[in-house]
A and B are shown apart, each in its own frame.
Chain A
Amino acid sequence: MNEKLHQYVNGVFAPYKGVKSVDELQADLLSDLQERFNELKKEGKDDETALEMTIDSIGDIEQTVQEVANLTRSLERQVLTNLSSSNLTNSDFAGVTAHKGKFAGSSLIGSDFSGSDLTGSTFKSSDVRDANFNGANLTDCTFSTLDLSNSTFNQSILVRTVFSKSSLAGVTFRDITMTDVKLTMTDLSKTTFENCTFDGADFTNSSLEGLNLDHQTFIGVKFDKAGLKDVTFRGATLKNVSFKGPALSKKFYRAIKTICFDDARMDKLTYAALKGLEADLSKVTVI
Protein backbone atom coordinates (compact mmCIF):
# COMPACT_ATOMS: atom_id res chain seq x y z
CA MET A 1 0.00 0.00 0.00
CA ASN A 2 1.30 3.41 -0.96
CA GLU A 3 1.91 5.29 2.27
CA LYS A 4 1.37 8.79 0.88
CA LEU A 5 -1.88 7.80 -0.80
CA HIS A 6 -3.14 6.38 2.47
CA GLN A 7 -2.14 9.49 4.38
CA TYR A 8 -3.83 11.77 1.89
CA VAL A 9 -7.15 9.87 2.01
CA ASN A 10 -7.03 9.52 5.81
CA GLY A 11 -6.55 13.26 6.14
CA VAL A 12 -9.65 14.01 4.09
CA PHE A 13 -11.83 11.54 5.99
CA ALA A 14 -10.49 12.17 9.52
CA PRO A 15 -13.24 14.55 10.67
CA TYR A 16 -15.94 11.97 9.89
CA LYS A 17 -14.28 8.94 11.41
CA GLY A 18 -16.88 6.69 13.01
CA VAL A 19 -19.79 7.59 10.74
CA LYS A 20 -20.34 4.13 9.26
CA SER A 21 -21.33 5.12 5.74
CA VAL A 22 -18.30 7.43 5.51
CA ASP A 23 -15.90 4.73 6.70
CA GLU A 24 -17.30 2.48 3.98
CA LEU A 25 -16.83 5.19 1.38
CA GLN A 26 -13.22 5.56 2.46
CA ALA A 27 -12.60 1.82 2.06
CA ASP A 28 -14.24 1.78 -1.40
CA LEU A 29 -12.23 4.77 -2.52
CA LEU A 30 -8.90 3.44 -1.22
CA SER A 31 -9.37 0.14 -3.02
CA ASP A 32 -10.05 1.95 -6.34
CA LEU A 33 -7.11 4.29 -5.88
CA GLN A 34 -4.76 1.46 -5.06
CA GLU A 35 -5.76 -0.35 -8.23
CA ARG A 36 -5.29 2.78 -10.35
CA PHE A 37 -1.91 3.45 -8.75
CA ASN A 38 -0.75 -0.12 -9.43
CA GLU A 39 -1.87 0.11 -13.06
CA LEU A 40 -0.05 3.39 -13.58
CA LYS A 41 3.10 1.89 -12.10
CA LYS A 42 2.76 -1.10 -14.42
CA GLU A 43 2.56 1.31 -17.35
CA GLY A 44 5.98 2.52 -16.27
CA LYS A 45 5.08 5.76 -14.45
CA ASP A 46 7.37 6.74 -11.58
CA ASP A 47 5.97 6.89 -8.03
CA GLU A 48 5.54 10.63 -7.99
CA THR A 49 3.68 10.85 -11.32
CA ALA A 50 1.49 7.85 -10.45
CA LEU A 51 0.59 9.39 -7.09
CA GLU A 52 -0.23 12.75 -8.65
CA MET A 53 -2.45 11.17 -11.33
CA THR A 54 -4.16 8.97 -8.74
CA ILE A 55 -4.95 11.86 -6.42
CA ASP A 56 -6.17 13.87 -9.42
CA SER A 57 -8.68 11.12 -10.25
CA ILE A 58 -10.45 11.61 -6.90
CA GLY A 59 -12.11 14.95 -7.66
CA ASP A 60 -14.08 16.94 -5.08
CA ILE A 61 -14.23 14.31 -2.36
CA GLU A 62 -14.95 16.73 0.52
CA GLN A 63 -18.35 17.45 -0.97
CA THR A 64 -19.15 13.77 -1.50
CA VAL A 65 -18.19 12.95 2.09
CA GLN A 66 -20.54 15.68 3.35
CA GLU A 67 -23.36 14.37 1.14
CA VAL A 68 -22.87 10.80 2.31
CA ALA A 69 -22.78 11.87 5.98
CA ASN A 70 -25.97 13.90 5.57
CA LEU A 71 -27.71 11.09 3.69
CA THR A 72 -26.98 8.69 6.57
CA ARG A 73 -28.20 11.16 9.13
CA SER A 74 -31.59 11.50 7.45
CA LEU A 75 -31.85 7.77 6.74
CA GLU A 76 -31.01 6.88 10.32
CA ARG A 77 -33.65 9.30 11.50
CA GLN A 78 -36.31 7.84 9.18
CA VAL A 79 -35.71 4.24 10.20
CA LEU A 80 -35.88 5.04 13.89
CA THR A 81 -38.95 7.20 13.52
CA ASN A 82 -40.71 4.31 11.82
CA LEU A 83 -39.69 1.98 14.62
CA SER A 84 -40.84 4.00 17.56
CA SER A 85 -43.33 6.21 15.69
CA SER A 86 -43.65 8.42 18.71
CA ASN A 87 -44.97 11.66 17.40
CA LEU A 88 -44.69 14.06 20.30
CA THR A 89 -44.85 17.32 18.40
CA ASN A 90 -45.51 20.33 20.66
CA SER A 91 -45.68 18.12 23.75
CA ASP A 92 -45.54 19.61 27.21
CA PHE A 93 -42.77 18.12 29.34
CA ALA A 94 -42.25 21.24 31.43
CA GLY A 95 -40.96 20.44 34.91
CA VAL A 96 -41.04 16.65 34.48
CA THR A 97 -38.40 14.29 35.85
CA ALA A 98 -37.32 11.63 33.36
CA HIS A 99 -33.95 10.13 34.33
CA LYS A 100 -32.35 8.08 31.54
CA GLY A 101 -35.30 8.76 29.26
CA LYS A 102 -34.96 7.49 25.72
CA PHE A 103 -36.21 9.79 23.00
CA ALA A 104 -34.62 7.97 20.06
CA GLY A 105 -36.15 8.60 16.68
CA SER A 106 -38.95 10.73 18.01
CA SER A 107 -40.50 13.82 16.61
CA LEU A 108 -40.35 16.41 19.37
CA ILE A 109 -40.71 19.57 17.30
CA GLY A 110 -41.63 22.58 19.44
CA SER A 111 -41.79 20.55 22.66
CA ASP A 112 -41.42 22.27 26.01
CA PHE A 113 -38.83 20.73 28.36
CA SER A 114 -38.30 23.88 30.42
CA GLY A 115 -37.31 23.26 34.04
CA SER A 116 -37.37 19.48 33.58
CA ASP A 117 -34.81 17.05 34.95
CA LEU A 118 -33.68 14.80 32.10
CA THR A 119 -30.44 13.52 33.65
CA GLY A 120 -28.91 10.71 31.56
CA SER A 121 -31.46 10.90 28.76
CA THR A 122 -30.68 10.28 25.10
CA PHE A 123 -32.17 12.12 22.14
CA LYS A 124 -30.47 10.24 19.34
CA SER A 125 -31.63 10.79 15.76
CA SER A 126 -34.71 12.74 16.79
CA ASP A 127 -36.29 15.84 15.39
CA VAL A 128 -36.12 18.38 18.21
CA ARG A 129 -36.46 21.63 16.30
CA ASP A 130 -37.83 24.70 18.11
CA ALA A 131 -37.81 22.93 21.49
CA ASN A 132 -37.42 24.74 24.80
CA PHE A 133 -34.83 23.39 27.26
CA ASN A 134 -34.58 26.55 29.36
CA GLY A 135 -33.50 25.79 32.93
CA ALA A 136 -33.56 22.02 32.28
CA ASN A 137 -31.06 19.72 33.97
CA LEU A 138 -29.33 17.96 31.06
CA THR A 139 -26.48 16.31 33.00
CA ASP A 140 -25.09 13.29 31.09
CA CYS A 141 -27.60 13.74 28.27
CA THR A 142 -26.71 12.77 24.71
CA PHE A 143 -27.98 14.84 21.80
CA SER A 144 -26.21 13.20 18.88
CA THR A 145 -27.09 13.04 15.17
CA LEU A 146 -30.24 15.06 15.52
CA ASP A 147 -31.86 18.27 14.48
CA LEU A 148 -32.00 20.87 17.28
CA SER A 149 -32.44 23.90 15.00
CA ASN A 150 -33.79 26.99 16.78
CA SER A 151 -34.06 25.31 20.20
CA THR A 152 -33.17 27.31 23.30
CA PHE A 153 -30.94 26.26 26.21
CA ASN A 154 -31.01 29.32 28.44
CA GLN A 155 -29.73 28.70 31.98
CA SER A 156 -29.79 24.93 31.39
CA ILE A 157 -27.53 22.68 33.44
CA LEU A 158 -25.04 21.14 31.05
CA VAL A 159 -22.61 18.68 32.62
CA ARG A 160 -20.98 16.04 30.39
CA THR A 161 -23.72 16.73 27.85
CA VAL A 162 -22.93 15.57 24.32
CA PHE A 163 -23.99 17.59 21.25
CA SER A 164 -21.99 15.85 18.55
CA LYS A 165 -22.84 15.62 14.86
CA SER A 166 -26.06 17.53 15.40
CA SER A 167 -27.61 20.43 13.62
CA LEU A 168 -27.48 23.45 15.96
CA ALA A 169 -28.39 26.26 13.57
CA GLY A 170 -30.28 29.03 15.35
CA VAL A 171 -29.77 27.44 18.78
CA THR A 172 -29.20 29.75 21.78
CA PHE A 173 -27.07 28.89 24.83
CA ARG A 174 -27.36 31.74 27.34
CA ASP A 175 -26.16 32.14 30.97
CA ILE A 176 -24.72 28.62 31.30
CA THR A 177 -21.70 27.11 32.98
CA MET A 178 -20.87 24.15 30.75
CA THR A 179 -18.79 21.42 32.33
CA ASP A 180 -17.06 18.87 30.09
CA VAL A 181 -19.55 19.45 27.31
CA LYS A 182 -18.84 17.87 23.92
CA LEU A 183 -19.60 19.99 20.86
CA THR A 184 -17.52 18.05 18.35
CA MET A 185 -18.09 17.59 14.60
CA THR A 186 -20.87 20.13 14.65
CA ASP A 187 -21.62 23.23 12.63
CA LEU A 188 -21.86 26.05 15.18
CA SER A 189 -21.53 28.96 12.77
CA LYS A 190 -25.20 29.87 13.21
CA THR A 191 -25.35 29.08 16.96
CA THR A 192 -25.45 31.73 19.68
CA PHE A 193 -23.43 31.51 22.92
CA GLU A 194 -23.98 34.33 25.39
CA ASN A 195 -22.58 34.81 28.87
CA CYS A 196 -21.34 31.20 29.11
CA THR A 197 -18.45 29.69 31.01
CA PHE A 198 -16.89 26.68 29.30
CA ASP A 199 -15.12 24.44 31.76
CA GLY A 200 -13.56 21.55 29.84
CA ALA A 201 -15.56 21.86 26.63
CA ASP A 202 -14.48 20.08 23.45
CA PHE A 203 -15.01 21.80 20.06
CA THR A 204 -12.75 19.44 18.07
CA ASN A 205 -13.54 19.29 14.34
CA SER A 206 -16.46 21.70 14.60
CA SER A 207 -17.09 24.68 12.39
CA LEU A 208 -17.19 27.94 14.38
CA GLU A 209 -16.79 30.31 11.48
CA GLY A 210 -17.74 33.90 12.34
CA LEU A 211 -18.89 32.92 15.84
CA ASN A 212 -19.02 35.60 18.54
CA LEU A 213 -17.56 34.28 21.83
CA ASP A 214 -16.93 37.70 23.35
CA HIS A 215 -16.67 38.16 27.14
CA GLN A 216 -17.01 34.44 27.91
CA THR A 217 -14.70 32.19 29.90
CA PHE A 218 -12.88 29.14 28.52
CA ILE A 219 -11.00 26.82 30.84
CA GLY A 220 -9.39 23.63 29.54
CA VAL A 221 -11.24 23.95 26.25
CA LYS A 222 -10.18 22.26 23.00
CA PHE A 223 -10.58 24.01 19.65
CA ASP A 224 -8.43 21.45 17.85
CA LYS A 225 -8.92 21.11 14.10
CA ALA A 226 -11.93 23.42 14.31
CA GLY A 227 -12.97 25.94 11.65
CA LEU A 228 -12.03 29.21 13.36
CA LYS A 229 -12.16 31.79 10.59
CA ASP A 230 -13.28 35.21 11.89
CA VAL A 231 -14.18 33.96 15.38
CA THR A 232 -14.12 36.71 18.02
CA PHE A 233 -12.93 36.34 21.63
CA ARG A 234 -13.17 40.04 22.54
CA GLY A 235 -12.73 40.51 26.29
CA ALA A 236 -12.86 36.73 26.82
CA THR A 237 -10.83 34.81 29.40
CA LEU A 238 -8.85 31.78 28.16
CA LYS A 239 -7.01 29.38 30.42
CA ASN A 240 -5.33 26.23 29.22
CA VAL A 241 -7.07 26.41 25.86
CA SER A 242 -5.77 24.29 23.03
CA PHE A 243 -5.72 25.21 19.31
CA LYS A 244 -4.05 22.30 17.56
CA GLY A 245 -4.31 22.12 13.80
CA PRO A 246 -4.21 19.12 11.51
CA ALA A 247 -0.72 18.54 10.11
CA LEU A 248 -0.08 20.37 6.85
CA SER A 249 -3.42 22.22 6.88
CA LYS A 250 -2.70 25.74 5.69
CA LYS A 251 -6.38 26.53 6.02
CA PHE A 252 -6.33 26.05 9.81
CA TYR A 253 -3.25 28.22 10.31
CA ARG A 254 -4.63 30.92 8.03
CA ALA A 255 -7.87 30.91 10.04
CA ILE A 256 -6.00 31.37 13.35
CA LYS A 257 -4.72 34.71 12.05
CA THR A 258 -8.28 35.95 11.46
CA ILE A 259 -9.38 35.39 15.09
CA CYS A 260 -9.98 38.55 17.12
CA PHE A 261 -8.54 38.39 20.67
CA ASP A 262 -8.85 42.12 21.46
CA ASP A 263 -8.92 42.82 25.22
CA ALA A 264 -8.91 39.07 25.96
CA ARG A 265 -7.12 37.75 29.03
CA MET A 266 -5.21 34.50 28.86
CA ASP A 267 -2.73 32.41 30.79
CA LYS A 268 0.89 32.07 29.69
CA LEU A 269 0.43 28.63 28.17
CA THR A 270 -2.46 29.57 25.92
CA TYR A 271 -0.65 32.81 25.00
CA ALA A 272 2.53 31.00 24.06
CA ALA A 273 0.69 28.41 21.94
CA LEU A 274 -1.28 31.06 20.08
CA LYS A 275 1.81 33.15 19.58
CA GLY A 276 3.47 30.17 17.96
CA LEU A 277 0.53 29.99 15.56
CA GLU A 278 1.06 33.68 14.72
CA ALA A 279 -2.32 34.79 16.07
CA ASP A 280 -2.85 38.51 16.54
CA LEU A 281 -2.34 38.97 20.30
CA SER A 282 -1.47 42.67 20.27
CA LYS A 283 -4.33 43.64 22.61
CA VAL A 284 -4.18 40.63 24.93
CA THR A 285 -3.48 40.74 28.66
CA VAL A 286 -1.51 37.83 30.07
CA ILE A 287 -2.74 36.74 33.51
Chain B
Amino acid sequence: MSENKITSDLLRGHTDTMILRLLSEADRYGYEIVKLIAERSDGNYELKEATMYSSLRRLEADGDVEWYWGDGSQGGRRKYFKITEKGKETHASNISNWEYAKRVLEKLL
Protein backbone atom coordinates (compact mmCIF):
# COMPACT_ATOMS: atom_id res chain seq x y z
CA MET B 1 0.00 0.00 0.00
CA SER B 2 2.70 2.51 1.01
CA GLU B 3 4.58 1.76 -2.19
CA ASN B 4 1.43 2.61 -4.11
CA LYS B 5 1.04 5.86 -2.21
CA ILE B 6 4.54 7.06 -3.10
CA THR B 7 4.11 6.17 -6.76
CA SER B 8 0.78 7.95 -6.85
CA ASP B 9 2.26 11.15 -5.35
CA LEU B 10 5.03 11.05 -7.96
CA LEU B 11 2.51 10.63 -10.75
CA ARG B 12 0.08 13.22 -9.45
CA GLY B 13 2.71 15.93 -9.95
CA HIS B 14 2.35 15.35 -13.68
CA THR B 15 -1.45 15.51 -13.88
CA ASP B 16 -1.45 18.74 -15.93
CA THR B 17 0.93 17.25 -18.48
CA MET B 18 -1.05 13.97 -18.71
CA ILE B 19 -4.24 15.89 -19.38
CA LEU B 20 -2.57 18.16 -21.95
CA ARG B 21 -1.24 15.04 -23.70
CA LEU B 22 -4.72 13.49 -23.93
CA LEU B 23 -6.21 16.76 -25.17
CA SER B 24 -3.44 17.20 -27.75
CA GLU B 25 -4.77 14.01 -29.40
CA ALA B 26 -8.46 14.93 -29.37
CA ASP B 27 -11.07 16.99 -27.50
CA ARG B 28 -12.30 14.96 -24.55
CA TYR B 29 -14.85 15.11 -21.72
CA GLY B 30 -14.14 14.64 -18.01
CA TYR B 31 -14.96 10.99 -17.48
CA GLU B 32 -13.18 10.08 -20.72
CA ILE B 33 -9.96 11.59 -19.33
CA VAL B 34 -9.99 9.58 -16.07
CA LYS B 35 -10.95 6.45 -17.96
CA LEU B 36 -8.16 6.81 -20.53
CA ILE B 37 -5.59 7.39 -17.82
CA ALA B 38 -6.67 4.20 -16.02
CA GLU B 39 -6.60 2.25 -19.31
CA ARG B 40 -3.27 3.51 -20.58
CA SER B 41 -1.56 2.91 -17.24
CA ASP B 42 -3.02 -0.63 -17.23
CA GLY B 43 -4.88 0.27 -14.06
CA ASN B 44 -1.69 1.29 -12.22
CA TYR B 45 -2.73 4.89 -11.86
CA GLU B 46 -6.23 6.00 -11.04
CA LEU B 47 -6.67 9.76 -11.50
CA LYS B 48 -9.32 10.97 -9.05
CA GLU B 49 -12.12 13.22 -10.32
CA ALA B 50 -11.16 15.91 -7.77
CA THR B 51 -7.53 15.94 -8.92
CA MET B 52 -8.57 16.10 -12.56
CA TYR B 53 -10.97 19.03 -12.12
CA SER B 54 -8.54 20.91 -9.94
CA SER B 55 -5.99 20.55 -12.74
CA LEU B 56 -8.49 21.43 -15.50
CA ARG B 57 -9.64 24.59 -13.72
CA ARG B 58 -6.03 25.66 -13.26
CA LEU B 59 -5.22 24.95 -16.93
CA GLU B 60 -8.32 26.90 -17.93
CA ALA B 61 -7.32 29.90 -15.78
CA ASP B 62 -3.84 29.82 -17.34
CA GLY B 63 -5.31 29.73 -20.86
CA ASP B 64 -3.96 26.26 -21.70
CA VAL B 65 -7.39 24.68 -22.06
CA GLU B 66 -10.85 25.78 -23.22
CA TRP B 67 -14.19 23.99 -23.16
CA TYR B 68 -17.41 23.85 -25.18
CA TRP B 69 -20.73 22.03 -24.95
CA GLY B 70 -20.95 18.94 -27.16
CA ASP B 71 -23.52 16.20 -27.59
CA GLY B 72 -23.53 13.38 -25.09
CA SER B 73 -24.24 9.75 -25.85
CA GLN B 74 -27.41 9.53 -23.76
CA GLY B 75 -28.99 12.76 -24.98
CA GLY B 76 -27.44 14.99 -22.29
CA ARG B 77 -24.96 17.74 -23.03
CA ARG B 78 -21.33 17.03 -22.35
CA LYS B 79 -18.58 19.49 -21.60
CA TYR B 80 -15.65 18.90 -23.94
CA PHE B 81 -12.20 20.20 -23.12
CA LYS B 82 -9.92 21.43 -25.88
CA ILE B 83 -6.22 22.34 -25.83
CA THR B 84 -5.25 25.88 -26.93
CA GLU B 85 -2.10 26.89 -28.85
CA LYS B 86 -0.66 28.08 -25.56
CA GLY B 87 -1.55 24.71 -24.03
CA LYS B 88 0.41 22.92 -26.76
CA GLU B 89 3.43 25.05 -25.92
CA THR B 90 3.01 24.32 -22.19
CA HIS B 91 2.82 20.60 -22.98
CA ALA B 92 5.98 20.69 -25.08
CA SER B 93 7.87 22.62 -22.43
CA ASN B 94 6.66 20.26 -19.64
CA ILE B 95 7.90 17.31 -21.68
CA SER B 96 11.34 18.83 -22.20
CA ASN B 97 11.50 19.67 -18.46
CA TRP B 98 10.66 16.06 -17.70
CA GLU B 99 13.32 14.75 -20.12
CA TYR B 100 15.85 16.95 -18.38
CA ALA B 101 14.76 15.88 -14.88
CA LYS B 102 14.81 12.25 -15.96
CA ARG B 103 18.41 12.51 -17.20
CA VAL B 104 19.50 14.14 -13.94
CA LEU B 105 17.59 11.65 -11.77
CA GLU B 106 18.99 8.67 -13.64
CA LYS B 107 22.49 9.83 -12.71
CA LEU B 108 21.53 10.55 -9.11
CA LEU B 109 19.32 7.63 -8.14
Q: Which residues of A come within 8 Å of B, CB atoms? A: 21, 25, 28-29, 31-33, 35-36, 57-61, 63-64, 67-68, 71, 75
When distances are taken between beta carbons in the complex, the residues of chain B under 8 Å from A71 are: 57-58, 61
A243 to chain B, nearest CB (A): 30
A-B CB pair tally, cutoff 8 Å: 55
Query: Which of A61, A67, A68, A75 makes the CB contact (< 8 A) with B49?
Result: A61
Bound: A184/B49 CA distance, A: 28
Size class of the B contact interface (CB-based, 8 Å)? 10 to 19
23 contacts between A and B (CB under 8 A): A21-B57, A25-B57, A28-B53, A31-B30, A31-B31, A31-B72, A31-B76, A31-B78, A31-B79, A35-B31, A57-B34, A58-B48, A58-B49, A59-B49, A59-B51, A60-B48, A60-B50, A61-B50, A64-B51, A64-B57, A68-B54, A71-B57, A71-B58
Closest-CB distance, B80 to chain A (whole angstroms): 11
Binding site for A on B (CB under 8 A): 30-31, 34, 46, 48-51, 53-54, 57-58, 61, 72, 76, 78-79
**C-alpha spacing A31/B53, complex, angstroms:** 13
Q: In the complex, what distance in Å separates the CA atom of A173 from the CA atom of B30? A: 45
- Contact: B50 with A32, CB < 8 Å? no
- 20 new A-B contacts, CB < 8 A, other than A61-B50, A67-B58, are A21-B57, A25-B53, A25-B57, A28-B53, A28-B79, A31-B72, A31-B76, A32-B31, A32-B34, A57-B46, A57-B48, A58-B48, A58-B49, A59-B48, A61-B49, A63-B54, A67-B54, A68-B54, A71-B58, A71-B61
Q: Which residues of A contact B30 (CB under 8 A)?
A: 28-29, 31-32
Contact in complex: A75, B61 (CB < 8 Å): yes
Closest Cβ neighbor of B48 among chain A residues = A59
